[in-house]
Each structure stands twice: as structure tokens, then as C-alpha cells.
Amino acid sequence: AQKVTQAQTEISVVEKEDVTLDCVYETRDTTYYLFWYKQPPSGELVFLIRRNSFDEQNEISGRYSWNFQKSTSSFNFTITASQVVDSAVYFCARSTGSARQLTFGSGTQLTVLP
């Protein structure tokens, strides 16, 4: 199976620190999509970003930024000046261009301490 690996199971930071969540994926496809979702304690998976395999531009949205490196099959997520409300489990996922299957990583539990 083509896996998505989030090696960091848990991360704890103090408020206002920057934090990077790592994601490495396997794929044999040339066309695929990468996603990040946030799961707060309420349980709902909140969509954060989607990138396709042809677009390696990094993206910034407020305090969030994403670094897509096709050469290393990585799609890392950085939160700048973290806040307590950022505490959640973050999931990286991959889908192929022609399938509905999302393969998720096992998630990274981020705790931001006040």
C-alpha cells in the first residue's frame, strides 16, 4: 500500500512558538492530490488545504504555510506564532487523480500550551 507517514505522533509547544508538522507520502502516480485536515476535540475533520502534484508552489494562508517538495515526497505544514486554539490532531492525506480514496496519515497531536 502507498502510505502517508506522519512521524511525529505528538508535539507540544508554548504559545507563540512556530511549529512544523511533517508529512511524507508514497505514490506511484504522476497525478495526485495532497491535503491537510485539522481535527479538534469536537471530532470534525476541518479541511485546511489541497494541492495537486503539478503545483509545487508553497502556500501561505495567515499563520499557516505549506511546503511541498516533490523531490522528497514531502508536504510539511508550519504554524507560525501558534495559539492555544491550534491544539488539535492534524492529518495529512493523499488521493490519486482518478480515485476517490483518501489515504490518511496517522495524525499528529499538537498541543499548544499557554
- Binding residues vs other proteins (CB under 8 A): 4, 35, 37, 42-47, 50, 91, 95, 97-107
Instruction: Give least dist CB 30 to other proteins, A.
Output: 12
Strands 32-39 and 10-14: unpaired
Instruction: Give least dist CB 81 to other proteins, A.
Output: 27
CA distances from 66 to 18, 38, 79, 85, 98 (A): 13, 14, 9, 19, 24
Beta carbon nearer to other proteins, 61 or 71: 61
Would you tell me how many other CB atoms lie within 10 Å of the CB of residue 27?
17
Instruction: Give least dist CB 36 to other proteins, A.
Output: 11
